Structure 1
Amino acid sequence: MAFGLLLAAFAGAMVALQTIFNNRTDIHMGSWATTTWVLGMGFLASLACSLIFEGGRTFQLQHMQPWYWFSGMIGVGVVICLVLGVKILGPTFSVSVTLTAQLGFALLFDSMGWLGLEKVDFDWKQIAGVAVLIGGIYVFKFGGKKKTEASERSASPLGDTP
């Protein structure tokens, strides 16, 4: 279990890092070009790793449901939505909303047993956990003290000059 937690934490760090890199790429290339570049580079990297570590199994698709073949297309939606979300909301707010939505939908899919998942029990604790995350995002984004006019003036680079 510890190794799984380590992998999940590392994945979270990589999502945050990739989101920032994608945002910087978007500034130079545009959102759709960024999505194309990111997923193209990801394809090349994952193909190379798959061939190295799994060899011929890379192309054995006969025992898989055909609709699962298109999961990479979902990645287009993930990347473009994150790129545009970061542009509008900023990286931290965008990633926190994304991860909360990811948790909420994973909870829904697990509790309903959808998409071939083993159905898990659903109770108020899971809803409370998601609610705490949503509350945390709200506090993070909107919970700060409002600046007064005087503090804004003192923080301006021109000082008290009107």
Structure 2
Amino acid sequence: MVTGIILALCGGMLVCIQNTFNAKVKEHVGAWATTTLVLGLGFLASLTIGLIVEGSQLFALKEAQTWFWFSGIIGVGVVLCVTQGVQQLGPSRAISIVMVSQILFALLWDTLGWFGLQTVPFTWTKALGVLLIGGGVLLFQLGGKTTTVQHVRKGA
């Protein structure tokens, strides 16, 4: 369980870094070019590492419903939406909204057993947890605009 928590924390950090970088790239090229670059480089990196780690077993497809193999297409929407959200809202606001959305949909899909998930009973405690996290994000959003202080060197 500790390993899972550490991996989840690292994943959250990497998502935040990636989307911050993606928003910076999008400042110089369009959203589709950014998405292509991100997913293309991700493909090359995962293919290279996958071949090194798994070798010929990399593409030994196991039994799964065919449509699950196309989840990379969903990644296009993820990169496109989150990158633009980060650019418009800033990383902390956008990622906190993404987090609440993920928790809300995870609760829904767990409860309904969608996508082949094992059904997890709905509890009001879980709903309250989602509401508390959502309330925290709302408080964060209402925190007001931040001001940027620019330091000017004398004699410059």
Query: Does the TM-score normalized on the shorter chain lie above 0.5?
Result: yes
**Aligned residue-pair number:** 150
Identity %: 48
Specify the alignment match of 2:118 in structure 1.
118
Higher relative CO (Cα under 8 Å, sequence separation at least 6) belongs to 2
Shift of 1:57: 2.1
Q: Which runs of 4+ in 1 moved over 2 A?
A: none
Residue type at the aligned position of 2:142: F
Shift of 1:87: 2.0
Specify the alignment match of 2:96 in structure 1.
96
Tell me the alpha carbon deviations over residues 36-89 of structure 1, each in whole angstroms, 9 at most, x when there is no partner.
Answer: 000000000111111111122221225221101110000000000011111221
Specify the alignment match of 1:9 in structure 2.
9
69-78 vs 56-65, greater mean Cα deviation: 56-65
5+ unaligned residues in a row in structure 2: which ranges? 152-156
Q: Would you say 1:79 and 2:56 are equivalent positions?
A: no
* CA distance, structure 2, for counterparts of residue 52 and residue 83 of structure 1: 30
Local SS of the residue matching 1:29: coil
Which protein has the larger Cα radius of gyration, Structure 1 or Structure 2? 1
5+ unaligned residues in a row in structure 1: which ranges? 147-151, 158-162
Shift of 1:143: 4.0
Local SS of the residue matching 2:118: coil
RMSD: 2.1
Q: After the TM superposition, which residues 30-109 of structure 1 pair with which residues of structure 2 at under 5 Å, given as runs?
A: 30-61=30-61, 63-109=63-109
